[in-house]
Structure 1
């Protein structure tokens, strides 16, 4: 069977655009003013899509990565990601490996903690981000 990528939710970073635009329109319909700072959040693999989307298009005050890390392409050979990012990891793995969290922690040690904080939540599992 062939996967219809156009019908798959969040199949590619560009697929986020219509969803974000619809959400923004709904928020404005409920009284949120145009131009109000917007923060974005994503879990696991969607965090990778979100980073690429926001890096390319901008328009966000910041992002929260739940069980995801900044992509290596933004970290090596020099750190190049511009958008303030809160990275939340879980003490007990899951889809995100502990060695990858440790690598991200080492990257974060050299970053501005006000713009790029990283928190590993004790006693939490990766799956709890979905709860």
Structure 2
């Protein structure tokens, strides 16, 4: 349906009401005009990111270099029920024997070195030879 047919099908009262609504809408549209921003560079398609800095936020400063306010408030509500209570249990004694160092010979300089057993290797290289 075209606009002309729509207007022809309206009664006189509807036409008057439509005209009044259109006049009111154009009056409010004229009051609010969009702000035009002048172009700085025509060939640039990138814009700079602008962040609003809120209270307590600083950008580009490491956390360790600036004192910050701790916003955490412990109200003590976590883990206070019976389900999360720690049971009273006797501690068991340590039965595992302490580790014993093993001797290994360096494959480069034939020097013997005592090391932890977890560092055992078939082709062991001592610290001095690793630096070279």
Q: Which has the higher helix share?
A: 1
**TM-score in same-fold range (> 0.5):** no
Scaled to the shorter chain, the TM-score interval is under 0.3
Higher RCO (C-alpha 8 Å, min separation 6) = 1
Q: Which has the higher strand share?
A: 1
TM-score (norm 1): 0.17
